[in-house]
Amino acid sequence: MQFVASGRARLATEVLGNGTAVVFLHANVCDRRMWRAQLDAIGATHKAVAYDRRGFGETRSEPEDFSALSDLMAVLEATADGKPAILVGCSLGGCIALDATIRHPSRVRALVLIAPNVAGAPDPTYTPDIARLMARSKQAEMSGDLDRLNAMKARLWLDGPLGGEGRVAGPARDLLLDMNGIALRSPPFGTDVDIQPFFDRLSDIAVPTLVLWGDLDFPYVQERCRHVAAVVPGAEGREMSGAAHLPSLERPAETTALISEFVARHAGADAGLMP
């Protein structure tokens, strides 16, 4: 563990292993612990890095306007040995990874995107059934009952709107509720003032890219993933059957295998011990 300074934040950062840096960026309902299985596997052959963003996990920060992209750059400066890194991002973490690749292309060797957000993408549309779920989520948010809201987030993002409620149980659900519970109760930490739309710049990406998504995720997320896979030159797209938005939690072995195989192909000569 180390704490990387960025502005008035100290970003809790976990580093395992040596070689090409593979940096994991978590979703907005999680923290770096969503990558536990992947960190342990990748860290055996490369340098695996995961950090908590502001408002999540063990990171501590004073309120200020900030840039999530600048925070990532600070982590890369501290951990990547001056070489381009492979970025693995889920949801909002995927958005930050994409932004980094477009605005700082020399810092990125390859990309793994799991159900990524894309700044500037069209607004989502919902079927009636999903619209009712979103209304329930809004009601939970308005109630001020953080436990109720946390349970609703698990319903939407872990079970998936196309999966049954409580579909993912046991340690994975407990971990999600713990991670998002910390985020929901986080004190104010400021506003990201450096968000720039890049939906129309995806074709500028010039690094190997793997896009993963689950067929139980929101339909608009699936459509967005297919778009990214189609527009990014040479990108690989993979739908995971029976998974939702957070496959690293509910399908850790399969997710780890997909990431490991991609990393092995694209880490480069300085990758350390290869499997």
Q: What is the pLDDT of residues 136-168, one digit of tens each?
A: 999 999 999 999 999 999 999 999 999 999 999
- Residue 269: its pLDDT value, please? 46
Q: Where are the domains of the chain?
A: 2-123+188-266, 128-184
| Contacts for 161 with CB less than 8 Å, ≥ 6 apart | 129, 130, 133, 216, 217, 218
Sign of CA dihedral 133, 214, 125, 138: positive
| Alpha-helical regions (H) of 44-170 | 68-79, 92-103, 128-143, 146-153
Cβ pair 87, 101 in contact under 8 A: yes
DSSP state letters, 4-58: EEETTEEEEEEEESSSSEEEEE--TT--GGGGHHHHHHHTTTSEEEEEPPTTSTT
Residues of the chain predicted below pLDDT 70: 269-275
Report DSSP state, residue 234. Answer: T
Report DSSP state, residue 63. Answer: S
Predicted structure pTM score = 0.96
Element (H, E) at 225: helix 219-231
Cβ pair 247, 254 in contact under 8 A: yes
The listed CATH number (2.70.98.60, 3.40.50.300, 1.10.3720.10, 3.40.50.1820) that belongs to domain 2-123+188-266? 3.40.50.1820
